Structure 1
Amino acid sequence: MPSFAIALIAAAIATVEAVAVLEKRAVTLPPANGKFDYQLGGAYTPPTGTQILTRDRTASPVTGLYNICYINAFQTQPDDATWWKTNYDTLLLRKSNNQYFEDPDWPGEIFLDTRTAEKRTALATIVNGWIDGCATAGFKAIEPDNLDSYTRSNSLLTKANNLALAKLLADHAHTKNLAIAQKNTAELTASDKATVGFDFAVVEECQAYDECDNFTDIYGTGMLEIEYTDNDNAQSVFKAACTARGATHSVILRDRDLVASGQSGYHYEQC
């Protein structure tokens, strides 16, 4: 083949690859320090001035806000466990005694088995379908929860395998022009972020556990922070978070169960 033809083919390939990268990164990030509300215990009218809103993937986004679609991507929701057992039992993690491995912190939530490429591909097929639903509904980003399930799995799961699944989800989300958040998992590095393709972070209790720098060092102001009222000295923790980052970051204080406004136990404060 003539050299000029080879050059033309190479240029065409490079152009396609460049376009693919641009399309993959055609995402919008949350506004820095935008007023934030976290609604996973039931949807309600956001507080006045809210700019950023997280809701479950089964809820509707709110027009005019930056809507983040919550997905439990690394373990089951309690009310979905029967569906998983019936349809995808082999994708659920089991202990050596063959019992399902439930999250010790959240009973009823079974870990998804990310240990093989085959299982990760099967899981991504399911979760990517949910991501498609988020895009169709009008969300701007996804928040795949429980990335850190490997830290509670008695070493059955690994960081590398969970990150490999996260990358499959991130790649798909980007093709839908959705940003993707790193959820918690303070031990991840800047290299891990780049490998997966995370765009921003959603972090619970980083002030309470002295982990906030792990995220701000990587994401700068691209971190949404939730502290909770049931922690010891919750108001002092929240005040310290506001003093440290409230002028530059979205920081809120919420009740642990994230109940809807108007229900018993509801609590919401922002810096």
Structure 2
Amino acid sequence: MRRRPALSTALLLLLAGCASANDDDPEAGDHWRPRPGTAWQWQLSGRLDTSVDVPVYDIDGFDHTGATVAGLHEDGRKVICYLSTGAWEDFRPDADKFPESVLGRGNGWEGERWLDIRATDVLEPLMAERIDMCREKGFDAVEPDNMDGYRNETGFPLTADDQLRYNRLIAKLAHDRGMAVGLKNDLDQIPQLVDDFDFAVNEQCAQYNECADNQPFIDADKAVFHVEYELPADRFCAESRELGLSSMLKKYELGVWREAC
């Protein structure tokens, strides 16, 4: 929710040094799979700065056009489409399509409420439309946010099984459209979901001493895109490099500023 509510070390360092956005697994199928150590930029607010010299950009799917995505592609970047799939946002153009019955408690961000992820008859077509939008704009992957509602006070009696079913549904929607998809946070379910997702996105695992929980993704040769907000870089970068995470320090508003490991 834009914040938090075995390979050898030598091999991980080698991967970090040689990974790039175009370093796809030829056996992986027809969608992108970023590898451990791939550098990235995550910008969800402010005027987009496309000058950061990294192979991967993660940007808001609604806020940016296909021309923006095409421009990043021309610069050799892969582009991830940020979407909220587990929470409703009152400022999105499709907000009126969500019936009140699936809207739960606020998730801590203004204008946002948790969704009843059990109601897949309602949510699946809405999320399919959003992911269609990402595909039509040319994005390479989807970052679905708010994927751990069952661990929060949503207003609905969500279970771990509910979350697994929903997260796998979102992954399938992306894969059916030829796009990669990342697991956002949801650390407890990584062992069950690592095979369904192509990379992970994590917030503040160092602050909460949880970064090793991402190991299944690294072991599967899949990137873990990681940010911290409150710890200085010298408190987490050494561990990040050892684990093979793609880590950087950001501010909560996720603007241009970054300090990469």
Q: State the shift of 1:240 in Å.
A: 3.1
Q: 1:122 to 1:24 in 2, by over 3 A?
A: farther
Q: State the shift of 1:91 in Å.
A: 4.5
Q: State the shift of 1:49 in Å.
A: 1.9
Amino acid at match of 1:174: H
* Cα-to-partner distance string for 1:61-91 (whole Å, 9 max, x where unaligned): 22221111101001012413x953x432244
> In structure 1, which of residues 240, 261, 265 is the aligned counterpart of residue 235 of structure 2?
240
Aligned match of 1:77: 89
Name the CA distance, whole Å, in 2 between partners of 1:162 and 1:24.
25
Aligned match of 1:44: 48
Q: Does residue 1:185 correspond to 2:197, yes or no?
A: no
Aligned match of 1:249: 245
Aligned match of 1:176: 177
SS in 2 for 1:201: strand
> In structure 2, which of residues 19, 26, 31 is the aligned counterpart of residue 27 of structure 1?
31
Q: 1:129 to 1:43 in 2, by over 3 A?
A: farther
Aligned match of 2:228: 227
Name the CA distance, whole Å, in 1 between partners of 2:252 and 2:86.
20
Given that 2:80 and 2:139 are in contact with CA atoms closer than 8 Å, whether structure 1 keeps it comes out as: yes
- CA RMSD, 1 decimal: 2.4
Where does structure 1 lack aligned partners over 5 or more consecutive residues? Answer: 1-21, 95-100, 262-266
* Cα-to-partner distance string for 1:224-259 (whole Å, 9 max, x where unaligned): 11111xx2xx21xx2232111236331111110113
SS in 2 for 1:177: coil
Given that 1:78 and 1:108 are in contact with CA atoms closer than 8 Å, whether structure 2 keeps it comes out as: yes
Aligned match of 1:109: 112
Given that 1:23 and 1:177 are in contact with CA atoms closer than 8 Å, whether structure 2 keeps it comes out as: no
Q: Which has the larger Rg?
A: 1
The structure whose residues are more often helix, as a share, is 1
Q: State the shift of 1:25 in Å.
A: 4.1
SS in 1 for 2:212: helix
TM-score normalised over the length of structure 1: 0.75
Amino acid at match of 1:244: E
Given that 2:190 and 2:216 are in contact with CA atoms closer than 8 Å, whether structure 1 keeps it comes out as: no
Amino acid at match of 2:236: A
SS in 2 for 1:79: coil
Given that 2:228 and 2:248 are in contact with CA atoms closer than 8 Å, whether structure 1 keeps it comes out as: yes
SS in 2 for 1:168: helix
Name the CA distance, whole Å, in 1 between partners of 2:84 and 2:121.
16
SS in 2 for 1:68: strand
Where does structure 2 lack aligned partners over 5 or more consecutive residues? Answer: 1-25
Amino acid at match of 2:54: T
* Cα-to-partner distance string for 1:104-138 (whole Å, 9 max, x where unaligned): x22321111123xxx21320111111111111211
Given that 2:38 and 2:223 are in contact with CA atoms closer than 8 Å, whether structure 1 keeps it comes out as: no
Amino acid at match of 1:71: L
Given that 1:124 and 1:165 are in contact with CA atoms closer than 8 Å, whether structure 2 keeps it comes out as: no
Given that 1:147 and 1:166 are in contact with CA atoms closer than 8 Å, whether structure 2 keeps it comes out as: yes
Aligned match of 1:217: 216
Aligned match of 1:12: none
Amino acid at match of 1:241: F
SS in 2 for 1:38: strand
Given that 1:69 and 1:142 are in contact with CA atoms closer than 8 Å, whether structure 2 keeps it comes out as: yes
Aligned match of 1:144: 144
Given that 2:34 and 2:198 are in contact with CA atoms closer than 8 Å, whether structure 1 keeps it comes out as: no
Q: State the shift of 1:217 in Å.
A: 3.2
TM-score normalised over the length of structure 2: 0.77
* Cα-to-partner distance string for 1:156-213 (whole Å, 9 max, x where unaligned): 222221221222221121121111100001111422333xx11110101111111111
Which segment is superposed worse, 177-186 or 209-218?
A: 209-218
Q: Does residue 1:121 correspond to 2:121, yes or no?
A: yes
| Higher RCO, Cα 8 Å, sep 6+ | 2
SS in 1 for 2:129: helix
Q: 1:24 to 1:250 in 2, by over 3 A?
A: closer
Name the CA distance, whole Å, in 1 between partners of 2:249 and 2:179.
26
